[in-house]
Amino acid sequence: GGERQWISFSIALISKRSVLLLDEPLSALDPALRVLMRTELKQMQRELNITFIHVTHSQEEALALASIAVVMNEGKVEQIDNPLTVYNKPKSAFVSEFVGGHNIIQEGKKLFSIRTDNIQLEKNNKNKINTEKMKITDIEFQGNSVKIILNNTKYKHFNVILGDSEFFTKDLKISDDVYCSWDIKKLHELQWYYYQITDPLEEIPPSIVTIVPVIYPASGEARKAHKSATSLTVAGLLAG
């Protein structure tokens, strides 16, 4: 299947199309080759100066390929930003959970997101404010980092990312009770509103547009805030 896709891709390039549709062209590749081919696709797009419509189920792939990201939920746009802003400053709980790498914190009636690598985790409470006692439910080794999955009565699924060196100095185990704390300055308040797109699409220059269909419902705090069954993310890499 992968070879057939790339043959079709080559034929399309030779025919000098103005728009190319790439339906998950990297899905059959191993992870290392997939990263290499992402770079190749971006270089091709810049050199050819045509639009690629890239369909993928990978949020990582969409963010890596795009310089403008459009996140949609049930056909309505929730956020338009560059990928760095979408990841670090999601507009809504839905966007925060969709792009991943965040926990959603509830303070009163407001919701905030915080990156999972901006949370401190200790076995003893050192009288820090903004602290939650939690139990470790799972530990995932991810190469140069370790993902700690925790919960308590308030947060059913809470993630913390630690560097591998830091993790091994803490002697953490599944079922341990620990304290999670965070700097209030690192909290990003979540909003809820829809954008109105008024600019005509023909004004967008040649780009890579990545489409990420998601067929699972939002979970956790995002589900409480906004019920949804499906979502669609569109991201574009502008020709430079």
Strand-pairing partners, residue 150, are 136, 158
pLDDT at residue 225, rounded to an integer: 42
C-alpha angle with apex 93: 92 to 94, nearest 5 degrees? 90
Whether pLDDT at 18 is above 80: no
Residue 46 and residue 59 in contact, taking contact as beta carbons nearer than 8 Å: no
57-113: pLDDT as tens digits: 787 888 888 777 777 777 778 888 888 898 999 998 888 888 889 999 988 888 999
Highest averaged pLDDT of the listed ranges 57-71, 91-105, 204-218, 225-239: 91-105
Mean pLDDT of 184-191: 92
Among 3, 40, 35, 6, CA closest to 22: 6
Radius of gyration of the chain (CA): 20
Query: CB atoms < 10 A from the CB of 190, how many?
Result: 23
209 pLDDT band (50/70/90 cuts)?
low
Mean pLDDT of 209-236: 41
Name the average pLDDT for the chain.
77
pLDDT at residue 51, rounded to an integer: 78
34-70: pLDDT as tens digits: 889 888 888 888 888 877 777 777 878 888 887 777 7
Mean pLDDT of 201-217: 46
Report CA-CA distances (Å) from 216 to 48, 57, 188.
Answer: 36, 12, 25
